[in-house]
Amino acid sequence: MTHTSTSTQQDARTGTTAAPPASGARMLGTAIAHLEPVMPLLRQLGELFAGAGHEIALVGGPVRDAFLSRTSPDLDFTTSARPDDTERIVAGWADATWDLGRAFGTIGVRKGGVQVEITTYRADAYDRETRKPVVEFGDSLDDDLVRRDFTVNAMALRLPDLTFVDPYGGLADLAAGVLRTPTDPEVSFGDDPLRMMRAARFSSQLGFDVAPEAFRAMREMAASIEMISAERVRDELVKLLMSPTPRRGLELLVESGIAEHVLPELPALALEIDEHHRHKDVYEHSLIVLEQAMALEGPREVPGVEAPTEVEGPDLVLRLAALLHDIGKPDTRRFEPGGGVSFHHHELVGAKMTRKRLRALRFDKETIKHVSRLVELHLRFHGYGNGEWTDSAVRRYVTDAGPLLPRLHLLTRADSTTRNKRKAARLQATYDDLEARIERLQAEEELAAVRPELDGNEIQAVLGIKPGPVLGRAYKHLLAVRLDEGVIGKDAASERLREWWAQQPESQG
């Protein structure tokens, strides 16, 4: 095994020589060892391309992750071979090949149970108005690496001899935990403004800091993110939220000003607080609720509940709801006499705002529906007080939440950020009691599938009516009876239906 000497790397941006990290050799050894499970494939590919007179290298995320002892979900390669050449070289070796984007130089390859992407060296130029790259194939690995987003993603392993290539100081930045661009950040972000959101995402995924010059460029160029499609922005936001520490990235988006253009409801939560009108910092509260909701994902225990329903993490719907649950507060804030502050109906306003924002970001209909419903319901528990809800109220809580009940449990618990330990313990105990009551009622009445005790055909027979709007109203009435009174039997349900019918104008005809 050989590797490019890292003792005197030249910084391509400044022309200065950058010293390697002291642990560079050890890190490289760790990376090679971490790649051992795929090493036969790497060597075979390298020998195939070398035999055909072409270069090939493992590049980007897989190399970075190997240095971090992380298993990358993808294996990406870059090569001097053009797409047609790549197909010819792997023919007979690969189990399958497919066109992933020939115009962009990418061919998909499957060998055994492993799928990889092989892309021709690129030397893209970007149209600064449309953000679409003008694809030009390159002839140099170094030139291919310089077009990548960050130095930690601009490292490569040449195959088959495992030569380590790091022309832009990625290993030093990796050791320092810094996100830096291979070229001037103004140039890199100007080529593709989405890279600014990737900085926030990688900060969350890897726990890295953004280099000062890159952060300055993000602040100066924040508005250019509006040139990026809503779908690409959404995908980066989702990856950020599903990371281990989304708070880091979200704070970076807010502090850089990018959030003003992609999720303006978030910085709007930083309400001005003065000495006369005291209330929680809603922005900070929302970030804490997100973190607390994440901590509740997975297995949990609830006193009095034999097997609490688990929300497997990371859960996008729960995390979005936790982040957005209070976005209705700025629009509903009212200063009360005596220095108090109220946010009446902020959950309803927030649900509407959530739907609007998620639609703008092109989220799917089901995600929009579920997140906005959780925002709408997140205050419902506070009417429970000290457990004085009737069984009817508990039934309605379960029915209104429907399949979102497990997530609503976690969101409601996470929404307690009080520093008063006694109050926090009381809230937790009260919600424990509610969950235990729900479990008892579910066992007795199968609440998850609650229905009126008479079906549509039986309602028609009792009232002597045909299908139509009246039947729908009658069904809703019996559902309300079921929620209010529980299981009362079909005879009693028929009597309640006749009593209702006697008061309807249609019965008089």
Q: Are 27 and 67 in contact (CB under 8 A)?
A: yes
pLDDT band at 479 (very low <50, low <70, confident <90, very high): confident
Q: Are 6 and 24 in contact (CB under 8 A)?
A: yes
* Residues forming beta bridges with residue 326, ordered by sequence position: none
In angstroms, the CA 195 to CA 453 distance is 57
Q: Are 104 and 119 in contact (CB under 8 A)?
A: yes
In angstroms, the CA 164 to CA 25 distance is 11
More confident residue, 219 or 128: 219
DSSP structural state of residue 208:
P
- Specify burial of residue 480 (Cβ count, 10 A radius: 0-12, 13-18, 19+): middle
pLDDT of residue 283: 93
More confident residue, 152 or 391: 152
In angstroms, the CA 67 to CA 58 distance is 13
pLDDT band at 21 (very low <50, low <70, confident <90, very high): very low
Residue ranges and CATH numbers for the domains of the chain are 1-183 (3.30.460.10), 184-263 (1.10.110.30), 296-449 (no CATH), 456-508 (no CATH)
> Tokens for 57?
């290298």
Chain-wide mean pLDDT for the chain? 88
What percentage of the chain exceeds 90 in pLDDT?
A: 61
Q: What is the pLDDT of residues 139-176, one digit of tens each?
A: 899 999 999 999 999 999 999 999 999 999 999 999 99
> Residue range 452-460: average pLDDT?
89
DSSP structural state of residue 145:
H
Q: With 70 as the cut, is the pLDDT of residue 7 above it?
A: no
Closest C-alpha among 328, 258, 244 to residue 286: 328
Positive or negative torsion for Cα 5, 7, 8, 11: positive
Return the minimum-mean-pLDDT range out of 20-29, 90-99, 180-189, 380-389: 20-29
pLDDT of residue 102: 86
Q: Are 412 and 432 in contact (CB under 8 A)?
A: no
Give the number of other Cβ atoms within 10 Å of residue 267's Cβ: 16
Q: Are 76 and 60 in contact (CB under 8 A)?
A: yes
Closest C-alpha among 57, 53, 98, 62 to residue 77: 57
Return the minimum-mean-pLDDT range out of 164-168, 383-387, 445-449: 445-449
Q: How many CA atoms lie within 13 A of 64 on its CB side?
A: 23
Q: With 60 as the cut, is the pLDDT of residue 130 above it?
A: no
pLDDT of residue 485: 83
Closest C-alpha among 294, 286, 338, 302 to residue 318: 294
> Tokens for 40?
């036969």
DSSP string, 273-298: -BTTB----HHHHHHHHHHHHHHHSB
Q: Which residue has the tokens 């990026």?
A: 228
pLDDT of residue 272: 54
Q: Which residue has the tokens 């520490």?
A: 245
> Tokens for 23?
């642990």
The whole-model pTM stands at 0.81
